[in-house]
Amino acid sequence: MGKALAAWLLIAGSVASPVSSPRDVVLNAVSQVMAIVSEPVDADRSTRPDAMERRRVDVHRVASELFDFEDMAKRALSRHWAARTRAEQMQFVEVFTDMLERTYLGRLEAFAGKTITYPTESIDGGYAMVRSRIAGEKRTEASLVYRLRQAGGRWKVFDVTIDGVGFVSTYRNEFDRILKSSSYASLLDRMRAKRLEINALR
């Protein structure tokens, strides 16, 4: 069975039989993403962009089940969220989601082929935390912590910390700094430019 087909079956299975344990939610989604990023991408420069975009679309299918992107966007924009119209908020969620997915995908691509373990899970009411460990040589070891909350009867990730650095808090500080010295439109332009920068590095 090809890796692409296996990844598709994993995705289909997750939709048909959602799991309830926070640890299982994370493990299932990460396994799907790792199967996708492990699939070889054509090195031909003429076809590589299309192949990378197809990979991003496949990852988006999984990520949309795992992450609560609107909640993450709201947390990242923090006090500036309420000042935006609903249309602007939805636009921000779209741009933020695309940038975050590409960033997360890039990090997981670096872990392809390595052993991932999930040593601990803790649940406190409607919130949970799942710790994972990427095994490897000392320089390539990594610790990921997924923070989840119950949303719509399912566990959804609202933040990821990699080696002590949280996605949401990092973006929140960066966005706040930009908005204090510039405009909202400038922030969106920088986010779109960041997306292109991430693509250029891959």
Most confident of 3-17, 102-116, 170-184: 170-184
Tell whether domain 3-200 is in CATH 3.40.50.1820: no
- Tens of pLDDT, residues 68-109: 999 999 999 999 999 999 999 999 999 999 888 888 877 777
From CA 85, how far away is CA 114, in angstroms rounded?
Answer: 43
- Tens of pLDDT, residues 155-178: 999 999 999 999 999 999 999 999
* Rounded average pLDDT over 45-57: 71
Contact 112, 142 (CB under 8 A): no
From CA 175, how far away is CA 146, in angstroms rounded?
Answer: 22
Taking only Cα atoms into account, the Rg of the chain, rounded to an integer number of angstroms, comes to 17
Burial state string for 6-39 with b = 16 or more CB within 10 A and e = fewer than 16: bbbebbeebeeeebeebbebbbbbbbbbbbbbeb
Strands (E), 35-164: 116-124, 127-134, 142-151, 154-162
Q: Give 41's pLDDT tier (boundaries 50, 70, 90).
A: low
pLDDT at residue 128 is higher than 50: yes
pLDDT at residue 4 is higher than 50: no
Q: Give 141's pLDDT tier (boundaries 50, 70, 90).
A: confident
58 burial level (CB within 10 Å; 0-12, 13-18, 19+) = buried
Q: Where are the domains of the chain?
A: 3-200
